Amino acid sequence: MIKKVKIEDAVGLPLGADVTQIIPQKYKGPLFRTGHVISKKDLDMLRMIGKEYVWIYEKQEGFIHQDEASLRIANSLIDESLYVSGPSEGWAIIKAKESGIFLGDDKIAKKINGFNRTILTTIENYSLVSENQQVAKCKITSIETNERLLDKIESIGKDLKKDNKSALRVVKPMIKRFGVIVTDSEVYYGLVEDAATGKVIEKLKPYGAQVVFNKIVRDDKTEIKKAIDEAIQRKVEAIILTGGMGPDPDDATASSIKEAGGKILRYGVPVNPASMSLIASIGDIPLLGISAGFISFKKSFLDFILPRILVKEKITKREIASWGLGGILRQD
């Protein structure tokens, strides 16, 4: 049971909720935490932040305090790649045990947030995270909650774990060896410097992936196909082709991928810059045809698609169609 008590009458009693202090542009956080026993010397500090009343909590049958409830929900949603800290101001903080790519289940997040007094918020899906980085936080917004309701919320994540799945997780990149094929006659003849290979290497480095095969070829179907075959022989796990993706008569990348036995899932994607890119595969090897314009931008379709490729996500046409909302990538 939660009680609103005047601060003078709360002396000697334990707080039922964190008391938050806000110093504009400097600090926002607990002045006193749940369970802190109010003393007379605390009263002036409470008055300084405008507090006349505080919450005092008394345990009652069938109800769970906010702190415990938030921690239980958080722990139900994670696997061994994450851990929970806190609570702080009612929030359970979810952090990464090690670096990797953050993945969250959109359907589960919607179910959790479908309850009026429950909040789950995360960083952007497919973000590269470092060890101990916060990836999510959740809380019950009321100071106490009905235990039966909490069991219902908690069961959403627990049921997923029965199938060895989790709503939130961090995954290590599963692909390390890339082939890069630059299809550009101007680059091949030395008229233009190859800027694409270096850019791809730069993008792969944070994930611990590397380029183990690199070749520059003319805009020629036979040469491109041969380069793809060579890359596969070098046991690459994924291939990135840059250039030759436009409507010009010399652009032959897409047709070359087909000649090499590739299946094109989508040519032209609702993500920009580098919308005239393609997603394909040869067996279990993913191929990306990236529009050469990607070299001019801080973020492009390559940045968007890389983490999905690295965790071996099964990409569908339906998913690709959903990328358009928010598909224009910010460059700041």
| pLDDT value, residue 119 | 96
Give CA–CA dist 8/39, Å, rounded.
9
Between 61 and 139, the higher pLDDT residue: 139
**Among 53-62, 128-137, 168-177, where is mean pLDDT lowest?**
53-62
Task: Provide the residue type at 112 as one letter.
Answer: I
Give CA–CA dist 252/90, Å, rounded.
57
pLDDT at 129 over 80: yes
| pLDDT value, residue 246 | 64
Give CA–CA dist 261/225, Å, rounded.
9
56 pLDDT tier (thresholds 50, 70, 90): confident
| pLDDT value, residue 213 | 97
Give CA–CA dist 156/125, Å, rounded.
20
pLDDT in tens, 205-251: 999 999 999 999 998 889 999 999 999 999 999 999 997 776 555 56
| pLDDT value, residue 251 | 62
pLDDT in tens, 285-312: 999 999 988 999 999 999 999 999 999 9
Q: Is the pTM of this model over 0.95?
A: no
| pLDDT value, residue 250 | 54
Task: Provide the residue type at 133 as one letter.
Answer: Q
pLDDT in tens, 243-278: 777 655 556 888 888 989 999 999 999 999 999 999
Tokens, residue 262:
């590739």
Beta-bridge partner residues of 4: 55
Question: Nearest to residue 8, comparing CAs of 55, 43, 36, 48?
Answer: 43
- List Cβ neighbours of 1 (8 Å cut-off, separation of 6 or more): 57, 58, 59, 60, 63, 144
pLDDT in tens, 28-42: 888 888 888 888 888
| pLDDT value, residue 302 | 97
pLDDT in tens, 63-100: 888 999 999 999 999 999 999 998 888 899 999 999 99
Tokens, residue 327:
């598909």
Tokens, residue 300:
């492009």
pLDDT in tens, 153-210: 999 999 988 888 899 999 999 999 999 999 988 888 989 899 999 999 999 999 999 9
pLDDT mean across residues, the chain: 91
Mean pLDDT for the stretch of residues 313-317? 94
